[in-house]
Amino acid sequence: MSRDKKQSKDTPRKLIHEEQAIEDAVNVAIKEAEDMESIAYLSRGEGSEEPIPLGVVPDLSVLPKKMRAWVIRKERHGEPMKSFKEEIMPVPDIGPNEVLVLVMAAGINYNGVWAGLGQPLSVLDVHKESYHIAGSDASGIVWKVGSNVKSWKPGDEVILHCNIESETHTTRTETPYDFISYDPMASRGQRIWGYETPDGSFAQFTKVQAQQVLPKPEHLTWEEAASYGLCYFTAYRMLITQAQLQPSEVVLVWGAAGGLGVFAIQICKMVGADAIAVVSSDDKAELCMELGAKGVINRKDFPHLMFKHGETEGERAKRLEDMKRFGQAIWKILGERRNPNVVFEHVGEATFPTSVFVCSRFGRVVICAGTSGYDCEFDVRHLWMHQKRIIGSHFANALECIRANELVRKGIIKPVLSHTYSYHEIPDVHQIMYENKHSGKMAVLVQASQTGLKNTEEARGAAKSVQARA
Ligand code: NAP
**Nearest CA owner, ligand 1 atom 6:** 255
pLDDT score of 184:
80
List of E strands, 34-132 = 66-71, 85-90, 98-107
pLDDT score of 183:
79
Q: Residues 6 or more apart from 224 whose CB is under 8 A from it?
A: 415, 417, 443
pLDDT score of 187:
77
What does the radius of gyration of the chain's CA atoms come to, in whole angstroms?
24
What pTM did the predictor assign?
0.89
Cα 173 to chain centroid distance, Å, stands at 30
CA 427/CA 419 separation, integer angstroms:
15
CA 298/CA 319 separation, integer angstroms:
16
Of 108, 109, 110, the residue with max ligand 1 atoms within 8 A of its CB, to mutate for a pocket test, comes to 110
pLDDT score of 467:
53
Ligand 1 atom with least separation from CA of 436: 3
pLDDT in tens, the chain (470 residues): 333 333 333 444 455 566 666 666 666 655 555 655 665 565 555 567 899 999 999 999 999 999 999 999 999 999 999 999 999 999 999 999 999 999 999 999 999 999 999 999 999 999 999 999 999 999 999 999 999 999 999 999 999 999 998 766 555 555 555 555 567 887 778 899 999 999 999 999 999 999 999 999 999 999 999 999 999 999 999 999 999 999 999 999 999 999 999 999 999 999 999 999 999 999 999 999 999 999 999 999 999 999 999 999 999 999 999 999 999 999 999 999 999 999 999 999 999 999 999 999 999 999 999 999 999 999 999 999 999 999 999 999 999 999 999 999 999 999 999 999 999 999 999 999 999 999 899 999 999 999 999 999 999 998 766 555 44
CA 192/CA 234 separation, integer angstroms:
12
pLDDT score of 372:
96
How would you class 461 by CB atoms within 10 Å of its CB: exposed for 0-12, middle for 13-18, buried for 19 or more?
middle
**Nearest CA owner, ligand 1 atom 44:** 231
Q: Alpha carbon of 123 to those of 111, 380, 394: distances in Å? A: 10, 33, 17
**Nearest CA owner, ligand 1 atom 43:** 231
Q: Report DSSP state, residue 346.
A: -
Ligand 1 pocket, 117 CB below 6 A? Answer: no
**Short-list 94, 102, 113, CA closest to 60:** 102
Ligand 1 pocket, 258 CB below 6 A? Answer: yes
Question: Could you tell me if 289 and 256 are in contact, meaning their C-beta atoms sit under 8 angstroms apart?
Answer: no
The DSSP secondary structure of 149-208, one letter per residue, reads --S--TT-EEEE--EEPPTTHHHH--SGGGGGGG-GGGSTT-EETTTTSSB-SSBSEEEE
**Short-list 261, 255, 227, CA closest to 420:** 227
Ligand 1 pocket, 433 CB below 6 A? Answer: yes
